[in-house]
């Protein structure tokens, strides 16, 4: 009985020590090209889906129509396309991330689903708002407004359906983003306007 208990204690102590030694001196997968841990996707996916199911909003607060799709396309172009690809043009590096960034305008290999159009909008909104740790997917809570997050969510939820031509042009990269104003030129223009402004009338003594 005593030897059995000693064996249990040694096992409890040795297992974490061996794991620490492997992480420190071994070759755990840290590069994108490394093979994943056994069952890594399940181990990370189960708690992620449980969290989303518990917290996601079931009913979007805005309508899925052109008034949402066009500004949603602008958000997608500016914030998402680099990793998730344009309509008809996959990202050059999204597939080289780990896990790979899904190309949201491509059909799935099995069926006609495009991107995340088969996911509930609330699930996509949760991912946009909260991000996902260790995937490269950021949280947009402090970058986008709540309306903007829902606009891009509803656009992606309807990626397998006909969209307004203006939205398609944007997510295809045909409509470039507006030019960023030159801060220096703006400062010069303000200074010039101030210099040319009439002086206030002098007060009478």
pLDDT in tens, 179-196: 766 656 566 556 665 555
* Averaged pLDDT, 158-166: 97
Is 160 in a helix, a strand, or coil? coil
Residue 173 and residue 170: Cα distance in Å, rounded? 5
Q: Which of 137, 135, 154, 144 is nearest to 57 (CA)?
A: 154
Q: Decide which of 70 and 43 is more confident.
A: 70
Residue 58 confidence (pLDDT): 96
Domains and CATH numbers, the chain: 40-57+65-171 (1.10.760.10)
* Averaged pLDDT, 18-25: 69
Give the CA radius of gyration of the chain. 26
Each residue's pLDDT tens digit, 100-139: 999 999 999 888 899 999 999 999 999 999 999 989 999 9
Residue 36 confidence (pLDDT): 83
Question: Torsions phi, psi of 52, nearest 5?
Answer: -65, -45
Least confident of 6-15, 97-106, 141-150: 6-15
108 contacts: CB under 8 Å, gap ≥ 6:
114
Residue 13 confidence (pLDDT): 72
Residue 200 confidence (pLDDT): 58
Residue 49 and residue 47: Cα distance in Å, rounded? 6
Q: Which of 72, 53, 47, 73 is nearest to 132 (CA)?
A: 47
Q: State the pLDDT confidence band at 44, using cuts at 50, 70 and 90.
A: confident
Residue 185 confidence (pLDDT): 56
Q: Which of 94, 177, 105 is nearest to 137 (CA)?
A: 94
Tokens matching residue 190: 């303000």
* Averaged pLDDT, 136-149: 97
Question: Torsions phi, psi of 27, nearest 5?
Answer: -130, 65
């Amino acid at each position: 009985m005593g030897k059995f208990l000693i064996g249990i204690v040694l096992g409890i102590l040795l297992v974490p020590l061996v794991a620490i030694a492997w992480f420190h001196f071994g070759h755990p997968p840290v590069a994108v090209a490394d093979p994943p841990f056994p069952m890594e996707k399940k181990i990370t996916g189960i708690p992620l889906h449980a969290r989303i199911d518990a917290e996601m909003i079931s009913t979007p607060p805005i309508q899925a129509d052109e008034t949402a799709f066009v500004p949603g396309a602008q958000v997608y172009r500016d914030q998402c396309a680099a990793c998730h690809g344009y309509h008809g043009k996959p990202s050059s590096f999204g597939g080289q991330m780990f896990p790979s960034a899904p190309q949201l305008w491509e059909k799935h290999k099995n069926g006609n689903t495009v991107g995340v159009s088969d996911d509930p909008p609330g699930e996509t909104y949760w991912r946009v708002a909260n991000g996902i740790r260790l995937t490269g997917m950021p949280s947009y809570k402090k970058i986008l407004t709540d309306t903007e997050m829902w606009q891009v969510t509803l656009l992606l939820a309807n990626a397998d359906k006909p969209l307004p031509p203006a939205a398609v042009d944007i997510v295809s990269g045909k409509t470039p983003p507006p030019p960023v104003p030159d801060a220096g030129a703006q400062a010069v223009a303000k200074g010039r306007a101030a210099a040319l402004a009439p002086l206030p009338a002098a007060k009478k003594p």
